[in-house]
Amino acid sequence: MKPVIAIVGRPNVGKSTLFNRIVRRKKAIVGDEPGITRDRNYAEAEWDGGVFLLIDTGGFEPGVNDEVALHIHQQVQLAIEEADLIIFLFDGKDGLTPIDIEIAERLREVKKPVIHVINKIDGERQEEKIYDFYRIGVENLYPISAQHGRGVGDLLDEALKLLPPSSEIRYNESLVKIAVLGRPNVGKSSLVNRILGNERVIVSEKPGTTRDTIDTPLKIGEKEYLLIDTAGIRRKGRISRQLEKYSVVEALKSIDRCDVAIILIDAKEGITEQDAKIAGLSHDKGRASVLVVNKWDLIEKDSYTIYKYTEDIRYNLKFIRYAPIIFVSALTGQRALKIIDLVDRVAEQYQRRVPTSELNRIFEEVILSNPPPMYRNKELKLYYITQVSIKPPTFVIFVNYPEGIHFSYERYIVNKIRENFEFDGTPVRVFFRERG
């Protein structure tokens, strides 16, 4: 588990610029308009051998009570609760403001180390501006320029001294780690409780009750699992068109830790854009997935209902057609425990290795039945295939012209691998390499 640093401050002091500087890539959204960052933004960062998680937050404005401001306040408070260390950022050009003073007063009540940082001090001429900030009653101030990098190294040196050491949680290698994902109020915590058989996770009708990921070990027979219940992925409201593409901001950090993603879909609402984004993140990260349609007890059914729902899911989530679908009710328990049977099936596929001899025997038959097309009037030759890794199953095919493989032929190869080796519940990755 990595220590956590949160950057807080009033709007437009340069929090996102500092965030990008520390993580060394343009990850946070930066702009002249105050209040661009509205939710927490997470990224892993490293400095001088120390690894930590950095959180960028929205501009904090005490006393402003509109809906967006209240949402930002909540997110900032959650970031402070998560953090082991807080970087309180000021704007050196604006000087100390009443909002800065009020935030400083609030942070005095937090029993965590706080580093007070004066941004936009681009050179020695501006350093005289920092003296005004001593009025908040702190001994050490750190002048920096987040835009140019000036003083950021000294800031990080001090931060590492104050952070607790990283710790690594080790689990049994055979443990299957399961992340429960979905939009708010889709029934994630109810499903976890149903599987565990007790009220391990708080359940509420109010969306967004789960604030942090919660890890719960589970043993069924001789098999061991780790259930990771995650906070709901929120759809951002009232955000300008410029920022719409950032509607999902790394709320799925737990997906990096899982083997199988259980993706919950609300049967009453059907597939939404957010469902597709969540499934896409799982697919892009190469995780095995199970699509769970919850609240099935609330649907009026006839003999075609499941067929219609299945067709709708397959149509809207074409990229994850390999994932099995199950219809359940976390409330009544209908088929809920059968989810574990599907998890077992896809987890086994996710870490399965195919013997090289068997793999190439089938590969030869596949090529003979449908040879690749010509490439620039030259014959494309596929020599042999080998599996290079698991989680997910990954294969390399050696050819004479890798650039000549059309995506449709690659898809044909992947489908044949699935068909012949029963990889119907996991991503399969295939890469083409030129034979040396």
Strand 223-229 and strand 214-220: the pairing is: antiparallel
**pLDDT the model gives residue 237:** 36
Are the beta carbons of 187 and 269 closer than 8 angstroms? no
CATH no., domain 356-434? 3.30.300.20
228: left (phi over 0), alpha (psi -120 to 50) or beta: beta
CATH classification for the domain delimited by 4-162, as one of 3.30.60.50, 3.40.50.300, 3.20.20.20, 3.30.1220.10: 3.40.50.300
Please say whether the beta carbons of 186 and 231 come within 8 A: no
Considering the entire predicted model, what is its pTM? Answer: 0.61
Give the distance between the most distant pair of CA atoms in the chain.
80
Centre a 10 Å sphere on the Cβ of residue 202 and count the other Cβ atoms it contains: 12
For the chain, what is the radius of gyration of the CA atoms? 26
Chunked mean pLDDT (size 10), the chain, 436 residues: 83 90 65 42 81 80 61 66 88 90 87 93 85 89 93 94 72 80 82 72 42 64 77 37 31 73 93 87 90 94 92 93 94 91 95 94 94 91 95 95 93 94 91 87
Distance CA 401, CA 120 (A): 53
> For residue 226, what pLDDT is reported?
85
* Residue extents of the structural domains in the chain: 4-162, 176-350, 356-434
Can you tell me the distance from the alpha carbon of 28 to that of 86, in angstroms, rounded to the nearest whole number? 18
Tokens (6 digits) for 428: 């399969």
Fold identical between 4-162 and 356-434? no
How far apart, in whole angstroms, are the C-alpha atoms of residue 63 and residue 61? Answer: 6
CATH superfamily, region 176-350? P-loop containing nucleotide triphosphate hydrolases (3.40.50.300)
- C-alpha span between 293 and 339 (Å, rounded): 11
Which pLDDT score, from 0 to 100, does residue 274 have?
A: 82
Peptide bond into 143 cis (omega under 30): no
pLDDT number for residue 75 = 62
Cα distance between residue 5 and residue 44, in whole Å: 10
CB within 8 A of 23, min separation 6: which ones? 43, 44, 45, 54
How far is it, in rounded angstroms, from Cα 199 to Cα 203?
8
Q: What is the 3-state secondary structure (H, E, C) of the chain?
A: CCCEEEEECCCCCCHHHHHHHHHCCCCCCCCCCCCCCCCCEEEEEEECCEEEEEEECCCCCCCCCCHHHHHHHHHHHHHHHHCCEEEEEEECCCCCCHHHHHHHHHHHCCCCCEEEEEECCCCHHHHHHHHHHHHHCCCCEEECECCCCECHHHHHHHHHHHCCCCCCCCCCCCCEEEEEECCCCCCHHHHHHHHHCCCCCCCCCCCCCCCCCEEEEEEECCEEEEEEECCCCCCCCCCCHHHHHHCCCCCCHHHHHCCEEEEEEECCCCCCHHHHHHHHHHHHCCCEEEEEEECHHHCCCCCCHHHHHHHHHHHHCHHHCCCCEEECCCCCCCCCCHHHHHHHHHHHHHCCCCCHHHHHHHHHHHHHHCCCCCECCECCCEEEEEEEECCCCEEEEEECCHHHCCHHHHHHHHHHHHHHHCCCCCCCEEEEEECC
Q: Tell me, what's the pLDDT at 25?
A: 62
